[in-house]
């Protein structure tokens, strides 16, 4: 039996697949209502880990049939996607260390990874990492000083607003495109100091799809359910 090796698994997202007991189809089964449809699950076993593993397998089986490829056009926030790409995983130094970011290599940085027409930026909680330590990087400035003001006012940068949003500490609105571009540019600049990206695949819920610009490809911002090493 082939074994799967996970880098990241969000129990919080797994718990979002809520049982709907009024629609039982057979004794000892649960009906889960999800953002992409219903799933029938066997009744949980007494062992919590075994029950979670079985639930994860059934949820992933369902997403394998319904999730869209992350680079498809017309994706909407809240939808589910699947991905396969080399990803680096990092945290930002000083602040927001509980935020883990996964990003694909900068265009041209990995000769085995052709420049994609859609960048991928995943964000999640570092507590969902499984036995791996993300690389701490400087990232973009999150605050700035307005030197034209006599009071030297400190304000949050566009990238800072994005980080606040991705950690759940900011406005629930989708992150701004400019701030995401600033964050990606800072992560790309730090990549020479990060070990080689690992090939991964998994499933994620869309946070925001960003259109291409004259100088940048499209970018999908999403929050992962799973990130695992690709076979």
Total length of the chain? 231
Distance in angstroms (rounded) separating the CA atoms of residues 99 and 167: 6
| pLDDT tier, 176 (very low <50, low <70, confident <90, very high otherwise) | very high
Query: Using only C-alpha atoms, what is the Rg of the chain?
Result: 19
Residue 199 pLDDT greater than 80, yes or no: yes
The three-point CA angle 226-227-231 to 5° equals 120
Are 63 and 77 in contact, with CB atoms under 8 Å apart? no
Average model confidence (pLDDT) for the chain?
85
Alpha carbons within 13 angstroms on the beta-carbon side of residue 78 total 5
Are 182 and 158 in contact, with CB atoms under 8 Å apart? yes
pLDDT of 227 reads: 98
Distance in angstroms (rounded) separating the CA atoms of residues 224 and 210: 17
Helix (H) or strand (E) holding 226: strand 218-229
- Tens digit of each residue's pLDDT (9 = 90 or more) over 201-227: 999 999 999 999 998 899 999 999 999
Mean pLDDT, residues 181-187: 95
Secondary structure (3-state) at 219: strand
CB neighbours (10 Å) of residue 30? 20
Positive or negative, the CA dihedral 115, 223, 212, 73 is positive
Distance in angstroms (rounded) separating the CA atoms of residues 147 and 153: 7
Residue 30 pLDDT greater than 80, yes or no: no
Give the strand pairing for 218-229 and 118-125. parallel
pLDDT of 181 reads: 95
- Nearest CA to 76 out of 181, 221, 224, 177 is that of 221
């Amino acid at each position: 039996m082939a074994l799967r090796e996970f880098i990241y698994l969000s129990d919080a997202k797994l718990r979002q697949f809520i049982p709907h007991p009024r629609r039982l189809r057979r004794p000892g089964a649960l009906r889960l209502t999800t953002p992409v449809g219903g799933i029938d699950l066997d009744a949980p076993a007494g062992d919590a880990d075994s029950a979670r593993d079985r639930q994860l397998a059934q949820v992933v089986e369902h997403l394998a049939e319904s999730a869209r490829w992350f680079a498809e056009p017309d994706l909407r926030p809240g939808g589910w996607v699947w991905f396969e790409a080399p990803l680096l995983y990092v945290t930002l130094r000083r602040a927001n260390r509980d935020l883990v970011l996964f990003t694909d290599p900068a265009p041209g940085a990995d000769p085995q990874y052709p420049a994609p027409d859609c960048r991928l930026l995943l964000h999640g909680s570092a507590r969902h990492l499984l036995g791996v330590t993300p690389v701490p990087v400087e990232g973009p400035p999150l605050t700035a000083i307005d030197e034209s003001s006599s009071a030297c006012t400190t304000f949050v940068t566009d990238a800072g607003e994005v980080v606040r949003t991705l950690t759940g500490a900011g406005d629930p609105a989708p992150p701004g495109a400019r701030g995401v571009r600033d964050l990606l540019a800072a992560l790309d600049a730090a990549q020479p100091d990060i070990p080689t990206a690992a090939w991964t695949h998994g499933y994620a819920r869309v946070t925001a799809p960003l259109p291409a610009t004259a100088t940048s490809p499209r970018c999908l911002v999403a929050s992962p359910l799973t990130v695992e090493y690709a076979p």
